[in-house]
Structure 1
Amino acid sequence: MSISNTTTHRFTRSLCAAAVASACLSVPAVWAQDNTDDDASAGKLERIEVTARKSVESLQEVPVAITSIGEMELAEKGIENITEIQQFSPNTTLQMSRGTNSTLTAFIRGVGQQDPVWGFEPGVGIYIDDVYISRPQGAVLDLYDVERIEVLRGPQGTLYGKNTIGGAIKYITKKMSGDTELAVNATIGTASQRDLKVSGQVPVTDNLYFGFAVASLQRDGFGTFLEAPEGQDRENYNKDILAGRFTLEYQATDDLFFRLSYDKTRDESNAKGGYRLVDSLLTDAPQPDSVYDSYTSLPTWNKVDLEGMSLTVDWNINDFWAFKSVTATREGDSPTNIDFDNTPLPIFDVPAKYTDEQFTQEFQLNYAASNMTAVAGVYFYDAEACGIYDANLVAFGIALEQSGCTDTTSYAIYGQTSYDFTEQWSVTAGLRYTKDEKDGVVNAATLLGLNYPESGWVDGYVRPDNAGTTVIDDTESWSRVTPRLGVEYMYSRDTMFYASYSQGFKSGMYNPRATFYQEPAAPEVVDSYEVGFKSDITDNFRLNATAFWLDYTDRQYVVNVPSDDLAEPTQRIANVGESEASGIEVDFTYVVTDALTVTGSLGTIDAEFTEVRSVDADGNPIDLSDNFVISNTPEYTANLAANYTVTTGIGDIVFNANYYYRDDYELFESPDPLLAQEGYGLVNASATWYSDDGKWQVGLHGKNLTDEEYRVGGYNFTGGRDENGNLLPGLGGDTTLIGYYGDPRTVHLNVGYRF
């Protein structure tokens, strides 16, 4: 984002972190600058630059629904977690998934993936400097020196490819300044929060720069494991993260730039214990008094290791042509303990281990002339996602084990162009061809007693040699062309109307929980139609609005169907769902004076299933659409925020406050009234002081000041309800209905100093 300073000595605020899970590490990179933008001092709107179409453009000139939040806004609001971005983007859900601090549940316009098991593809793409992050594990992260975060709503299949059928979230970092810098940032807060971040950059030569950031993020738990195995840490909802990022930038010539980046993150926060919404049938442990307290019979340790490296090359060939290459590799290792029943007994315990690695290569060519812009490229993706879990069911004395890998190879070629027919009319057209090939291996076993993915998982455990039966060992491929077509009309220099059609698809998949051979589910497809406008109505009032309608076909869901040799239903993934959604999204910015700015957003959506195909116990086809809802999609989301700057004799003080409302929503497609989340509102406020000499920054930030309790995840492993509405026992023989909650009221004090 292009940010205009409002005073001579205001910091240029940036995020300083190293790909950290659950944390936005705000450390200024360039702390003091002269004010060179007259618009801000005159109380006018700023120009916001985005890269939604893979080239730098003004937000107001891009016919795409976008939310862009820059480094200054992130720092002044004290945003520590990427999930907080959902407050500022209509019809967007970004929440920590159940069980860990680092797994992301992302939905945009009713499209996403709430099950984070290996091999499942997300419906919202996450990108870090054009590098696609393929798995939700470890996706709750932010980067060193973030320039802005962009949320692109609606299918982005033409430029961004598969698995962006809901939209895309982009982390964009900025180049180093080339000066020698060192910054230290410390934070203390609620639950003994104690963060320390150190960042800096050093010019090695006149055109070679080295940058670094290290961060330690620590916090005690919001709750306690009331009972846990002996010797285990009993903190629940705690944080224990160590991260680092290192970057080399080489400006070979004015037109040729290289960036080599390496990051590593280790999250050793405890496994998250959920809150039982009903009493257990098999134990006498009462419901805890606090929603952040829990019980567990599993170890409480948890780990997420992430590591990545990327090389970016930017070459401005001439005044019209530019070339870009992005080469990247990433890998992750996530052993985890998930106590589904959250009791002191192993009624339904799932110790699991996820591993993944990926390699991506993209070559991109951009063209820009007076009346035409174009982008074209080729993309290669090679990834492996593996996992193993043991579902320990003490009531039956067995463990149901699943393991396997999904290997994916993907090739794509794409192009998109915008052409101005006149000064007012333009058209945008694009196509992307993608071919996916997947190799799926799934193993299933039934083991006696308690079992774990590795020897030594608990003291004295030795893993048996039996690897089970291979039920799937198969290869499938799919290909698809995803188009985009749009028309834009510049009503005036400051007002644009647009209409577009776009399509996206989510990759096909094998069922990693299969117990017998199954054909893979085919890709999902979303067709989306939008009309909207973007207008700077006056020099200080901006209004953007979009109306959309989407048709979602071949939705992949787990359904219960009879197997060939068992009378009882078993799990199967199939393309069983059809849904549609329509809605409106509105954003406004009002620069009241050069000191006061008010912003707001509103999202409405009407989303529903039109068909959910399954079979009854006799194998007869049935439609379950009346029993299914679109999960993680409130009908209304709204935000109202204000930013006010006071200039004093010792520096500027910037006050921020916002109110975010989220209407009621379901956490699962098959709802239960006890698991539904009612509408709620969050109140946040911050005050940040910047010293006149540009060296000190002190911020006081309060979140969820009214201490709202709200669910962000859960599990439903009941057997449904009887004719009287009473819960029936489900897998494990208990009524397992579990909720996970967002953060309670927190306050933190942040102090930064630049040497």
Structure 2
Amino acid sequence: MKQHNSNKSYLALAIATALTANVALAEETNNNSAEVKEPGLERIEVTARKTVESLQSVPIAVTSIGAAELSENGIAVMTEVQRFSPNTTLQTSRGTNSTLTAFIRGVGQQDPLWGYEPGVGIYIDDVYMARPQGAVLDLLDVERIEVLRGPQGTLYGKNTIGGAVKYVTREMSGDTEFTIEGTVGSYNQKDLKITGQIPLVEDKLYFGFGHAELNRDGYGEFLISALAGQDTENYNKDLSASRLTLEYHASDDLFMRLAWDRTNDDSNAKGGYRLLPSLLTDAPVPDSVYDSYTSMPTKNAVELEGLSFLASWQVNDELSLKYVATSREGNSDTNIDFDNTQLDIFDVPAFYQDENTSHELQANYIGDSFSLVSGIYAYDGESCGHFDAVLGFLGRAAYGASLGATGLTREVTGCNNSNSIAAYIQSSIDITNKLSLTVGGRYTKEEKEAYVNNGLAFSNVYPSDNWIPGYVRGDVTFPQVLGTDTNGDDILDAPKKEDWSQFTPRVGLEYHYDNDTMFFASYSQGFKSGTFNPRATVNESAANPEIVDSIELGFKKDWDDVIRTNVTVFSLDHTDRQYITVTPDPDDLTVLNQNLGNIKGSSAKGIEAEITWAASENLRIDYSIGYIDSEIEEDPTLATPLVGLSNTPDYTMNLAANYTLDTEMGYFVLTGGYYYRDDYLLFEDSDSLLQDGYGTLNASVTWESLEGNWYGGLHLKNLTDEEAMVGGYNFAADNGDGTYSPGLGGDTTLIGYFNDPRTMHLTVGYRF
């Protein structure tokens, strides 16, 4: 297991203790001073349990970030939300600009290949996003974002074993509104957002719209590109997003909404930074972590489109019904240069296609001494892909003379199709006027069908004509077709099927000591679907589902409407974790055989604390800290022992202050914050890609006119220009003495992708 700097741990705990002491002293001071303006805590409403409730009455660990707080901090993309939620990782994946890596309490999914299921559920207005491609959402017309920590297997279902992130858009007011907002900033950032709404029928029918054009030059560049005429910007942004909404208020009790959204991300494929010099080229390690080399096209495209329909009927004072139907599809073309050199050592051109539909019917009932949330849910999804692992340099060197090879390509194509249906029910029952019981469960039945075709050609092969200039795919032949059944037939000829069912319970006790104090304890279970290996080279069986069992003890209290303390202690067991093992073959550097199976699992325990201090009418201080102690069970089936959980720092901490000024020129809000992440691994089987602990400092000042029509903000992020890895690739053999031997492709490929550098941007908007 990795070793951590204990001084960092002591420092984090000391800050927590000092802040708590200062908060208590400030409370006493405020109580004894008549001259201090009376502060107050904001009531925050969330829908974590699929019904509107106060944050302080929800017996789970939830962080809610509202539209005002997002604006005051200059947050424009979902990944920035990670700093507000303890023990949470939301980061842009390796190789692309819009693929999400999400982990909560050490549970998630790192590999974004089709067929693999996420461990953290992403929702837009209760619509599930099944794939990580395009899930790095840019915020447009958002009301709040909720981060639910811990398994949400009862109300939200499969693939929420780590938790869920909910993106909630703003409901229309019924008035005519129009907002235009422009942003300029570092690296030639130029953004334009337009949102608005029009009442088509007064008090009945409203039409809403939103569009964003988001552009920025790259943080770095491709210093050497093997293809002429390519855009050499690296880490750039070229994205457009649109939303259209139609809301119908048929009566006070009946509401319907039809919503459409589309996102096009044409940002370049992201080039990684070589942490080791290449053995096969003379190009030096770049001076900047944002610079790279490539032999691939730099183009990249992600297209997402979705349609949803919501109908909500308040039948009477006790009973409400809701129906949600959705259809989503996505297409991605990408070029990932794994080795990041100007040679075709290990290049992966790929495309992904997915589409899914879902239906959910929900019934909520509120009685005199109990409440009930129940529903049925159906999901039908197809996820397909194609990638070519081009090992051309190695193919020509090893096989050119004997086989006439002009290159070497491992091509994989396939689909994973999923059908699931679930029924759930959860009730909160009042035992006394202070003690209540929560009990619920969800039954899920899922069927999957998958196929994969895996072949080896002794030439450089790309997915389609003109993938690189002048390339003609034609009829590609594969002398070696890898992956056969017991009869010797390609596994493409025989799709594999498997089905699973799982009951995921939840039970909890809540004790309301008074109107401002709640204690809670709960047990919950999460279920992540079984799946087939999308890279299979043998006709292997499906991996079993993953199960997470979690226990939480929590405390939520508002102290005299001045201090809010929400603390949760948790313990979880993550069993049958799906894991990919690579078959080692030191005599054949072309080996890409990967087997998907289950390992024993892992366990974790920790604590999360979120504290808000309304120090005065104008000043608010927020502090949060998360600690997690995790361990992976030893598993003799693994050739390489696992050394720790990926993307899971032992400590995360955020300290922020917010000060409001009322002036004759308008309302100013000054915001500053420091966010710290302890050291963490990018991969569980090696510490070659270990990111040391680091902190980022952010500051903002926002302004709104007295009339409320003009507004603006100046935002400075990562002021100390910290560089931290958020993704990577490891295809180099660590010799254990600080040296590395060649891995797949015949080179020492150890690659890092990094967070955003220091930036500044200015936003100005006008509301009509």
State the TM-score, normalizing by the size of structure 1. Answer: 0.92
1:737 aligned to 2:750? yes
2:410 touches 2:454 (CA, 8 Å); kept in 1? yes
Q: Deviations over 1:296-319 (max 9, x none)?
A: 000000000000000000100000
| Mapping for residues 62-141 of structure 1, pairs under 5 Å | 62-141=58-137
CA distance in 1, matches of 2:144, 2:341: 43
Using a 3 Å threshold, how does the CA distance of structure 1 residues 723 and 168 change in structure 2: closer, same or farther?
A: closer
Name stretches of at least 5 consecutive residues in structure 1 with no aligned partner: 1-39, 617-623
Q: Which amino acid aligns with 1:286?
A: P
CA distance in 1, matches of 2:699, 2:265: 28
| Mapping for residues 189-204 of structure 1, pairs under 5 Å | 189-204=185-200
1:182 aligned to 2:195? no
1:635 aligned to 2:650? yes
Displacement after TM superposition at 1:728 (Å): 1.3
* SS of residue matched to 1:611: coil
Displacement after TM superposition at 1:698 (Å): 1.2
1:374 touches 1:416 (CA, 8 Å); kept in 2? yes
1:407 aligned to 2:420? no
Using a 3 Å threshold, how does the CA distance of structure 1 residues 233 and 643 change in structure 2: closer, same or farther?
A: same
Displacement after TM superposition at 1:144 (Å): 3.5
Correspondence for 1:658: 673
Correspondence for 2:686: 671
1:199 touches 1:213 (CA, 8 Å); kept in 2? yes
Using a 3 Å threshold, how does the CA distance of structure 1 residues 562 and 729 change in structure 2: closer, same or farther?
A: closer
CA distance in 2, matches of 1:145, 1:45: 25
CA distance in 1, matches of 2:331, 2:737: 45
1:612 touches 1:628 (CA, 8 Å); kept in 2? no
1:593 aligned to 2:616? yes
1:445 touches 1:467 (CA, 8 Å); kept in 2? no
Correspondence for 1:458: 468
Q: Which amino acid aligns with 2:734?
A: R
Displacement after TM superposition at 1:448 (Å): 2.4
Correspondence for 1:223: 220
| Mapping for residues 534-613 of structure 1, pairs under 5 Å | 534-561=556-583, 570-613=593-636
2:543 touches 2:597 (CA, 8 Å); kept in 1? yes
Displacement after TM superposition at 1:613 (Å): 4.0
Correspondence for 2:408: 398
1:406 touches 1:441 (CA, 8 Å); kept in 2? yes
CA distance in 2, matches of 1:573, 1:530: 31
1:443 touches 1:467 (CA, 8 Å); kept in 2? no
Deviates more, 1:284-293 or 1:554-563: 554-563
Deviates more, 1:340-349 or 1:144-153: 144-153
CA distance in 1, matches of 2:558, 2:600: 41
Correspondence for 2:485: none
Q: Which amino acid aligns with 2:211?
A: V
Correspondence for 1:336: 334
* SS of residue matched to 1:67: strand
Aligned length: 704
Displacement after TM superposition at 1:615 (Å): 5.4
* SS of residue matched to 1:728: strand
Q: Which amino acid aligns with 1:310?
A: S
CA distance in 2, matches of 1:225, 1:684: 29
Correspondence for 1:422: 432
Displacement after TM superposition at 1:723 (Å): 5.5
* SS of residue matched to 2:742: coil
Name stretches of at least 5 consecutive residues in structure 2 with no aligned partner: 1-35, 396-406, 482-489
CA distance in 2, matches of 1:721, 1:184: 53
CA distance in 1, matches of 2:105, 2:548: 11
Using a 3 Å threshold, how does the CA distance of structure 1 residues 723 and 362 change in structure 2: closer, same or farther?
A: closer
* SS of residue matched to 2:716: strand
2:624 touches 2:653 (CA, 8 Å); kept in 1? yes
1:143 touches 1:173 (CA, 8 Å); kept in 2? no
Q: Deviations over 1:3-36 (max 9, x none)?
A: xxxxxxxxxxxxxxxxxxxxxxxxxxxxxxxxxx
CA distance in 2, matches of 1:723, 1:238: 36
Q: Deviations over 1:361-398 (max 9, x none)?
A: 00000001232111100000000000000000021221
| Mapping for residues 265-664 of structure 1, pairs under 5 Å | 265-394=263-392, 395-396=394-395, 397-466=407-476, 469=481, 470-471=490-491, 473-561=495-583, 570-614=593-637, 624-625=640-641, 627-664=642-679
1:712 aligned to 2:726? yes
* SS of residue matched to 1:83: helix
Q: Deviations over 1:128-166 (max 9, x none)?
A: 111100000000114532111000000000000000000
1:635 touches 1:665 (CA, 8 Å); kept in 2? yes
Displacement after TM superposition at 1:467 (Å): 7.4
1:503 touches 1:527 (CA, 8 Å); kept in 2? yes
Displacement after TM superposition at 1:672 (Å): 2.8
Correspondence for 1:683: 697
2:141 touches 2:210 (CA, 8 Å); kept in 1? no
State the TM-score, normalizing by the size of structure 2. Answer: 0.90
Displacement after TM superposition at 1:585 (Å): 0.2
Q: Which amino acid aligns with 1:610?
A: E
1:559 touches 1:614 (CA, 8 Å); kept in 2? no
* SS of residue matched to 2:565: strand
Correspondence for 2:711: 697
2:643 touches 2:687 (CA, 8 Å); kept in 1? no
2:78 touches 2:139 (CA, 8 Å); kept in 1? no
1:142 touches 1:171 (CA, 8 Å); kept in 2? no
CA distance in 1, matches of 2:727, 2:200: 47
Correspondence for 1:12: none
* C-alpha RMSD of matched pairs (Å): 1.5
* SS of residue matched to 1:60: helix
CA distance in 2, matches of 1:612, 1:339: 32
Displacement after TM superposition at 1:560 (Å): 3.0
* SS of residue matched to 2:81: helix
Deviates more, 1:607-616 or 1:221-230: 607-616
* SS of residue matched to 1:191: helix
* SS of residue matched to 1:159: coil
* SS of residue matched to 1:204: strand
Displacement after TM superposition at 1:500 (Å): 0.4
CA distance in 2, matches of 1:125, 1:577: 23
Correspondence for 2:13: none
CA distance in 2, matches of 1:544, 1:483: 24
Q: Which amino acid aligns with 1:380?
A: A
Correspondence for 1:35: none
